[in-house]
Structure 1
Amino acid sequence: MRSAPECRDAVAAAVTTLESAVSRLRQAYGDTLGVRRLTSDVARLATDLEELGEPEPGRRGRIDGPLESIPDTPYDPSMWAGAEDEGLGAPDRHAP
């Protein structure tokens, strides 16, 4: 198992590779909205990685508290009565 600094270095190398790939996309596609969003996303990844800092001592992938078991049995259908489908909106409305 890799240490936290080794993992962080591996992710940093991957982000650098991704930055290079997005740069090549910019050359091929120009300054499009999609390329600008990708550039922003990759920059945010790099910033988030820098902000991680050092892991807390003794935190090696430990989850705090007990794991919660979720049964495989189906949920009661009445639980969903009147709920909207996420992303689809209410049945009596439509997107503009």
Structure 2
Amino acid sequence: MAAAITTLESAVGRLRVAYGDTLGVRRLASDVARLSDDLDELGEPQPGLLPSPAGPLETIPDTPYDPSMWAGAEDEGLGAPDRHAP
């Protein structure tokens, strides 16, 4: 995990060269520093514990959903009914 933090620090350093010492770059640097601190607080992983496998993939069919599933649903956030997305 420490290698990932080192890679992030290096990437932020390259951003600093490309963009200068901007607020965005300083915020990214601060975020990476916090990640490093958080990783230090976690300490070493417990021996013998392995991450659990993700499990089998679930296939989602391409068939259309049953229109009754949408009955009574609110349209908030979908835009005006007489307009379409570009």
For normalisation by structure 1, the TM-score amounts to 0.48
Trace 1:1-96 onto structure 2 (pairs within 5 A): 11-62=1-52, 70-73=58-61, 75-80=65-70, 82=73, 89-92=77-80
How many angstroms does 1:17 deviate by? 3.8
**CA 1:27–1:59: 2 relative to 1, 3 Å:** same
**Counterpart position of 2:84:** none
Structure 1 segments, 4+ long, off by >4 Å, are 67-71
How many angstroms does 1:71 deviate by? 4.9
Larger radius of gyration: 2
Residues 65-90 of structure 1: CA distance to partner in whole angstroms, max 9, x if unpaired? Answer: xx5874523554444553568xxx34
The unaligned stretches of length 5 or more in structure 1 are 1-10
Provide the rounded CA distance (Å) in 1 between the counterparts of 2:39 and 2:25: 21
Q: Which moved more, 1:28-37 or 1:70-79?
A: 70-79
Count of residue pairs brought into register by the alignment = 76
Provide the rounded CA distance (Å) in 2 between the counterparts of 1:68 and 1:83: 34
How many angstroms does 1:57 deviate by? 4.5
**Superposed CA RMSD:** 3.4
Provide the rounded CA distance (Å) in 1 between the counterparts of 2:25 and 2:59: 43
The unaligned stretches of length 5 or more in structure 2 are 81-86
Identity fraction in percent: 62
For normalisation by structure 2, the TM-score amounts to 0.52
How many angstroms does 1:35 deviate by? 0.6
